[in-house]
């Protein structure tokens, strides 16, 4: 499982136990230090160790983990950044790509990268976003995987929204005909990056 995000704290117990492969597409180096914290949290949920006896068990079980830093420390990224992360992960053996990133527009660069992964038999999983209270926009790349108007049928990957602990739709999470599936995302615990600002 490749997590394409803000990097990760590879010393966090659940992540360290997986001895993840790492690459920073912005610096062309293995340094994926995560001062934002988002990538660390996502990586632990996607593929945190289920055997280290510490923290939480990631949904990916025994799957190997790859951390690809393609998003800036402030959380911003371009279509070229995203595409570089996708292509790197595919070319280095990832079978599942997690893209908990998105925006209201797509581009030919993003579409080509997504298609490249699909053509190589890779499963893409993308967040549909958390802007329900701000107009519930259609977000990409999720809408490339499950197109708007498809009512969750067909598609080329999984566009995922968030559910609450009691199985209801989370009040902040985007929704619509382009959602494939809902997964727990409200009041979920995950790893915290030691390099990220303290949570308050």
- In angstroms, what CA-CA distances link 50 with 97, 131, 136? 19, 32, 35
Predicted TM-score (pTM) of the model is 0.94
Please, are residues 71 and 79 in contact by the beta-carbon 8 Å criterion?
no
Note the pLDDT of residue 54.
87
pLDDT, tens digit, for every residue of 107-165? 999 999 999 999 999 999 999 999 999 999 999 999 999 999 999 889 999 999 999 99
Q: What is the DSSP track for 118-129? A: HHTTPEEEEE--
Would the CA dihedral through 37, 113, 48, 100 be positive or negative? positive
pLDDT, tens digit, for every residue of 11-52? 999 999 999 999 999 999 999 999 999 999 999 999 999 999
166-182: average pLDDT: 95
Q: Which residue has the tokens 């490249």?
A: 116
Helices (H), 72-149: 79-91, 108-119, 142-145
Percent of the chain clearing pLDDT 90 (strictly above) = 88
């Amino acid at each position: 499982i490749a997590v394409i995000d803000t990097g990760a704290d590879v010393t966090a117990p659940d992540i360290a136990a997986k001895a993840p492969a790492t690459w920073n597409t912005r610096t062309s180096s293995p340094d994926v230090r995560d001062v934002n914290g988002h990538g660390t949290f996502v990586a632990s949920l996607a593929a945190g160790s289920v055997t280290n006896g510490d923290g939480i068990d990631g949904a990916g079980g025994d799957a190997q983990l790859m951390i690809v830093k393609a998003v800036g420390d402030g959380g911003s990224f371009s279509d070229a950044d995203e595409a570089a992360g996708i292509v790197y992960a595919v070319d280095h053996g990832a079978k599942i790509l997690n893209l908990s990133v998105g925006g209201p527009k797509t581009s030919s660069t993003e579409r080509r990268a997504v298609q490249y992964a699909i053509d190589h038999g890779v499963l893409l999983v993308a967040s549909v976003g958390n802007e329900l209270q701000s107009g519930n926009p259609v977000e990409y790349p999720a809408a490339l995987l499950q197109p708007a108007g498809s009512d969750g049928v067909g598609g080329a990957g999984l566009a995922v929204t968030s559910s609450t602990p009691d199985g209801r739709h989370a009040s902040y999470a985007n929704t619509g005909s382009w959602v494939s599936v809902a997964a727990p995302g409200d009041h979920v615990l995950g790893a915290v990056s030691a390099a990220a600002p303290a949570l308050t």
